[in-house]
Chain A
């Protein structure tokens, strides 16, 4: 059963995460994705290398693609790419603003070669505005977008500690891009028209903060304005980053009571998480843990009143000491039986063998031609009529250059000439 994007051809000029993962998402949906690399290759090939030009990160972010190598810093290389473009439906890039123009791979140039092209650009800060030309990567945009400060983590030296378990702005920008491409394919199918799509790490960072980053004056006058005032007064008085975060963390706010039952606690053999969203969930947890005398869900409880902090601390302590007396399995069994949302805090390294992950086939095995079998996080979604996923691993550098050129009308002697001149290929085999 072919995927929903069966027959769609994507040319990807991208590296690290945001661009490549968009390509992977499209490949998972059945598109044929050709990754165009410079002779040096995508820089993520060299983050914790396991073989020359091969890394676990590159493999995960580039499965399902074919790989070609073209030197786009040369006019000849550009003309090879231009000869390929008419055969492609979608072009994906995450080069910095200005670079695409310099190497003649910008929208205005490529749309001359394929009038209904869908052109996706992923940038750090967008293609206009005062920061458009600044360098961006996930943690930088975490910092710029407020996501990092909003996470309120500070290291021993008082420096901001980023989210490191993932690169959230990168992934969400990649997913936004894939969404745009799918919507644009639908639009093209209905109207015949291609278009240009822009997605940014900054927009992704803000989208992830949708509930907090906006202004709803009727709500903010009570909950946010005092915080903004406090932060600007502290900054004027020369407060350090750590002091700002501490003040932000400890201010009176409605979320504190909520966070008693939406938090992690240590247990005998590790830690568990409670994830209550509703009063019913909290009641289920109180029953499972025999928590008594908790007024935080009563109608007359004032979450920002003067007594609130002491009450919250008392209830939290009751839960903490209760949970410390049991193991993960014991508590999860009781909380599950009560219907309450809870989980052990698992280790990523164990997840490939987790029974739920296995049952959902979330981490299928694929075979890499150089480094052997690997189990990877599989497709984003499952669809009943259009299968998603891939059994093709990431491409070794330069592995499909000749095949792809041949399929698109290049003769063997032309290819040999381009290789000899160093225009295509990684330059290591001649």
Chain B
């Protein structure tokens, strides 16, 4: 059964994560994705190299694609893109604003060759505004968007301790880009019209804070404005980042402290456990499993006011009680008890061990691939499944310059033309001619 995007052709000029991951998901859905690189290759090839220009990071963010090397600084290289584009449906780019224009591969230039082209441009800050031209990366968007300060982690030097388990802004930008491409394909199918799509890391990081970032005067007057004035006071007297976090966190803890009693981690006798309660029913299930009486925790009662004097001490007292209970037994026993009670809880697994997890295996989340240069590999596969147009990893990542000639032949170039482009340096690696 072919994927939902069977027959759709995608050309990408992207690197690192946000752009390449969008290409991977389009490929998972059955699109034919061709990646264009410079002779130096996607910067990701060099992060944690395992063979020349091959890295685990590059492999996972470029599976299922064919790869070609073009010199886009060269007019002949640009002409190749313009010739290929007439047979493509989608073009992806994640360069800084202004770069596509300089290389002659901006929306206006390419749609001249393909009027119904779907052109996706992902940037750090968006195409306009005072920061549009600034350099960006995932943690820059984390910092700029408030996500990092909102995570409230400080390192031993008093600086922000960033989210390192993933690159959230990159991934969300990749997902929103892919959603937009699919929606644009649907629109083109209904109307015949292509279009330009803009996504950014900043928007991705803001989307992740959707539940907290909004301003709502009727709520903010009570819950947010005191936090803001506390923050302003610390700033006024020249306080440190850690003090600012303290001012913000202290007030936030009052508002959300009771919720976090049952939405957070505890140590057990042999490791750690995580609770994830979002409803009063969940919290009651946990109290039952822990053997807590109704009177042990007044924070879930309708009349508990988190902002009242003494509330913080009440919450701390309940936390101490829960901490003590969890410390008395093993993770496995607690997870079994909480599962039986129906409460959301899990052991804390290590990412390197997930490949062998029975649930991950049952769902078939990981896929086995064979790379042309470095052999077999297992990686996280498509992020969801579809019954009528299934997703599937289409293959491993391309070696640098791995498919240049094949792609050019397929799109009508003669062997003589290719040889000429190679010897002039417009396509391929410098020493390949």
Contact = CB atoms under 8 A, between A and B. Distances in A.
B147 interface: yes
A143 B125 CA distance: 31
Contacts of A172: 171-172, 175, 383
Contacts of A17: 211
Interface in A225-279: 227-228, 231, 235, 238, 240-242, 244, 248, 254-255, 258, 262-273, 275-278
Contacts of B5: 183, 186
B409 interface: no
Contacts of B50: 216, 218-219, 222
B359 A265 contact: no
B412 interface: no
Given A176-B383, A189-B190, A377-B213, A145 B349 contact: yes
A355 B126 contact: no
B172 A386 contact: no
Given A51-B218, A214-B379, A262-B137, A179 B384 contact: yes
A179 B182 contact: yes
B195 interface: yes
B150 interface: yes
B308 interface: no
Interface residues of A, number: 177
Nearest to B388: A195
Contacts of A210: 21, 60-61, 171, 379-380
Given A166-B168, A216-B377, A343-B144, A385 B214 contact: no
Interface string A1-34: 0011100000000001100010011000100000
Nearest to A345: B143
Interface string B374-385: 111111100111
Contact of B383 (A203, A240, A336, A341): A203
Contact of B231 (A55, A138, A148, A349): A349
A108 to B, nearest CB: 11
Interface size grouping (class) on chain B: 35 or more
Interface string B318-356: 000001000000000000000100111111111111110
B94 interface: no
Given A48-B255, A183-B182, A200-B363, A346 B197 contact: no
Given A137-B278, A203-B383, A275-B137, 15 more contacts: A4-B186, A60-B210, A129-B362, A130-B359, A145-B351, A148-B274, A151-B165, A197-B386, A215-B366, A218-B375, A223-B48, A264-B161, A267-B241, A347-B146, A348-B145
Interface in A29-53: 29, 43-44, 47-48, 50-51
B73 interface: no
B281 to A, nearest CB: 9
Q: Is the interface of A mostly helix, strand, loop or mixed?
A: mixed
Given A43-B278, A148-B165, A356 B378 contact: no
B344 A348 contact: no
B175 A203 contact: no
A427 interface: no
18 contacts: A48-B255, A126-B363, A143-B274, A150-B164, A159-B323, A175-B179, A180-B386, A183-B182, A203-B384, A210-B171, A213-B366, A228-B352, A255-B48, A262-B139, A342-B135, A349-B146, A360-B203, A375-B214
